[in-house]
């Protein structure tokens, strides 16, 4: 243990840490490691913001107004500064959906936004040129895909599809810009990538994106090799080491209760169980 982070954490607060852990946001207030207030972010707790891959700013997909039928905007913001509109009019807001920036990377000049019907299956995905807001590619899934994830540099997607209501899942790895197929992972739902894009993490076996699977694994997607498996334990989120191959993986998140074990998984398959009651801003 290196120390304890400060900041007021009210019951039910949403918090997220930047990729390198130097700053973090609780609700709409940003802090540094010494609990010094850095400023606020310009979105409320109902709107999920995503850190850029370098941790210098955040990105969010937000409606013009919180009314069904409103036009969606892609915005970026440096902590303590107003939001900057990157693009607008690319999706229509519905109050029973959720809208996530899956990746936001200045180096690759890309951002990926997806809408999820009722927060479960992806309905539409749009790839942007971050510097101009130009749309590079859009995909309408129309129920054909059960889950979609993106690498931190926004160059790679994983589309997980279930062949039938009782069938197995197949995850297809694709290039973000043109959708070309790069690989396939059998019997797996990709929830995310390692920082270097070589590994994927998520539920395996009789998997569902709703975290009700009994198996959690880290897999090298180009070869299909299982790097690490938690055995018969449900998937409970992950956090990737920036540009590296290590992953923090949570297991045991069940019944809406934040009771889980958190492992630091290395690319050689070894894993360290972090101390009990550790809280990590895990992604799903």
Q: In a 10 Å sphere around its CB, with 0-12 CB exposed, 13-18 middle and 19+ buried, how is residue 275 labelled?
A: exposed
Please give the pLDDT value at position 255.
55
**Is 155-284 in CATH node 1.20.120?**
no
Please give the pLDDT value at position 53.
96
Half-sphere exposure of 103 (CA within 13 A, CB side): 32
Whether the pLDDT of residue 123 is over 80: the answer is yes
Assessment of whether the complete model's pTM goes beyond 0.85: yes
Please give the pLDDT value at position 199.
98
Please give the pLDDT value at position 1.
54
Whether the pLDDT of residue 256 is over 90: the answer is no
Report the alpha-carbon distance of residue 196 to residue 105 in Å, rounded. Answer: 13
Whether the pLDDT of residue 211 is over 50: the answer is no
Helices (H), 11-55: none
Whether the pLDDT of residue 210 is over 70: the answer is no
Please give the pLDDT value at position 213.
46
Whether the pLDDT of residue 200 is over 90: the answer is yes
CA distances from 41 to 67, 77, 84, 111, 164 (A): 22, 7, 12, 19, 42
**Mean pLDDT across 216-232:** 94
Helices (H), 128-249: none
**Mean pLDDT across 152-180:** 93
Please give the pLDDT value at position 259.
61
């Amino acid at each position: 243990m290196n120390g304890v982070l400060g900041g007021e954490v009210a019951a039910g607060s949403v918090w997220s840490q930047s990729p390198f852990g130097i700053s973090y946001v609780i609700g709409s207030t940003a802090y540094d490691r010494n609990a010094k207030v850095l400023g606020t972010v310009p979105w409320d707790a109902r709107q999920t913001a995503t850190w850029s891959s370098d941790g210098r700013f955040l990105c969010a997909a937000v409606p013009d107004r919180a009314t069904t039928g409103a036009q969606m905007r892609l915005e970026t913001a440096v902590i303590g500064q107003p939001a900057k509109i990157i693009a607008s009019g690319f999706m229509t807001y519905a109050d029973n959906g959720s809208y996530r920036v899956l990746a936001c990377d200045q180096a690759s000049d890309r951002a990926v936004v997806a809408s999820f019907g009722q927060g479960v299956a992806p309905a539409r995905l749009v790839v942007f040129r971050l510097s101009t807001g130009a749309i590079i590619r859009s995909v309408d899934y129309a129920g054909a895909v059960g889950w979609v994830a993106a690498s931190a540099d926004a160059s790679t997607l994983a589309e997980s599809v279930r062949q039938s209501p009782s069938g197995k899942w197949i995850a297809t790895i694709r290039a973000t810009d043109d959708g070309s197929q790069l690989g396939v992972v059998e019997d797996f739902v990709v929830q995310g990538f390692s920082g270097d894009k070589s590994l994927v993490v998520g539920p395996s076996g009789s998997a569902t994106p709703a975290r009700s699977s009994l198996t959690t694994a880290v897999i090298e997607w180009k070869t299909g090799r299982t790097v690490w498996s938690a055995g018969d334990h449900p998937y409970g989120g992950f956090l990737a080491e920036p540009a590296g191959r290590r992953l923090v993986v949570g297991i045991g998140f069940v019944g809406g209760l934040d009771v889980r074990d958190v492992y630091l998984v290395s690319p050689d398959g070894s894993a360290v169980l972090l101390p009990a009651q550790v809280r990590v801003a895990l992604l799903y």
